[in-house]
Amino acid sequence: MAPIEVHLIAADGRSHTVRARVGRSLMRAAVDGRIDGIAADCGGCLNCATCHVVVDTAWAVKLPPPSSDEQAMLEMTAAPRQPTSRLSCQ
């Protein structure tokens, strides 16, 4: 399957576009694309919340709801949680 492009806007307002493979996490695409602000300290094990992103509302409604474990970790994000906050490793 062909890669897709994902557009990210960093906390400082800079825009980035990374290529991602369908079926892999947004966190992996951001880390591979060397996007600052996605530390992903736990490597996607749902232990750190350093992969926090705020998903555009148009896309957030297309995602499955966060699991109870993701919900719990979203309470520990460094930046304030928003209505469409997600952990990009999930």
Binding site for ligand FES (CB under 6 A): 27, 40-42, 44, 46-51, 73, 87, 89
Q: What CA–CA distance (Å, rounded) separates 84 from 79?
A: 13
Would you call 70 helix, strand, or coil by DSSP?
helix
Report the residue number, 2 or 65, with the smaller CB distance to ligand FES: 65
- Alpha helices in the chain, H assignment, sequence order: 26-32, 57-60, 68-73
Report the residue number, 47 or 67, with the smaller CB distance to ligand FES: 47
Which tokens belong to 30?
A: 């951001």
Report the residue number, 9 or 72, with the smaller CB distance to ligand FES: 72
Q: Min. distance of Cβ 2 from ligand FES in angstroms?
A: 26
Q: Min. distance of Cβ 90 from ligand FES in angstroms?
A: 7
Q: What CA–CA distance (Å, rounded) separates 39 from 11?
A: 13
